[in-house]
Amino acid sequence: MRVLDDISQAVGSTPMVRLSRVVPPPHEVLAKVEFLNPTGSVKDRIAQYLVDKALAEGRIGAGGVVLEASSGNTAMGLAMMSILRGLRCRMVVRRQTSREKLDSLRALGVELVLVDGSLPPEHPESYNRKAQVLAAEDPSIFFPDQHHNRDNNEAHYRTTGPEIWRQAEGRIDLFVAGMGTGGTVSGVARYLKEQDPRIRVVAIDVEGSVFSDHFAGRPLPAPRPYLLEGLGDEEVIGCPEFECIDAMEQVSDGEAFRAARELAAREGLLAGGSSGAALWGVRQVLARETEPRRVVTLLPDSGNRYLSTIYCDRWMAERGFLAAAGGG
């Protein structure tokens, strides 16, 4: 174990864990534990890649402002990179984002621009538009635009995909992962399919998002509100490489949250709702398989960010996700 010059050098090289308790044999499920990145999520990878690339290309200089729209995890990674690279950080975040994420961002000195997450995507004050409006007002701002910038995908094509391939020793039948910006699942999928075109990729969407309808070629419905952070979107965005996806599954809030709690209770993995969504998706896929399969999935962020929501019995019960309120 070498001594690092700064904590960004700890990004990546996360472990892979066999989920034998929540998915018993004959199937084998390997989970890439991305919440062990420095700020607790897979988004540290794109934050490091996008900021360092922008600095190298002269698109931002010392003291400049990094601006992004984020559900919290990318914001955390960009906050870390801004501190280490002498930059300032301004994040557009939904007011509905978990209290733990908002408090963590403030602790890292992020200037928060809070928006109403219920506004339609075309509204200039919506989560989807506010960062674009602010970036257009000041050309000196570096706006990574994680929802439309394919460098998001490239970060995972270069790092996450190769790590998964090496750790699984090239033996993968299925890759199952959530789709938020689409960067993780798309970059990894493209890399894995280049190594072995037989690998099937299943992306997990959330009920209320428009991704699944777009993938299926159906007319886009009006987006509906949901509580799961980090998956889905109200409109089709630029990063998802739908051509690399073989199938999509749509999870409900309750299904994702209960599966996340099961990961904690049975595997000792305190992970967030999108990790629960991934586990739910793995089970949906394997329920249709007639032969033993080797599956890789990905746990994007830590459950520490949802102690007041997913891991609070009262919060869960009030929303109908648990039968009765306990402590919490």
What element of type H or E holds 82?
helix 73-85
Q: Give CA 80 to chain center in angstroms.
A: 17
Q: What is the signed CA dihedral for 90, 96, 100, 106, rounded to 10 degrees? A: 20
43 is annotated as an active-site residue: yes
What length does the chain have?
328
The number of beta carbons lying within 10 Å of the beta carbon of residue 125 is 12
Counting Cα atoms < 13 Å in the Cβ hemisphere of 283 gives: 18
What's the CA gap between 119 and 173, in Å, rounded?
40
Please list, in sequence order, all residues whose beta carbon lies within 8 angstroms of the beta carbon of residue 120, skipping any fewer than 6 positions away. Answer: 126, 223, 234
Task: Match 């990546």 to its residue by tokens.
Answer: 12
Given the residues 43, 101, 130, 193, select the one marked as catalytic.
43
Closest by CA to 166, choosing from 275, 2, 8, 12, is 12
Q: Give me the DSSP letters along 171-194.
A: --SEEEEE-SSSHHHHHHHHHHHH
For the annotated catalytic residues, the residue numbers are 43
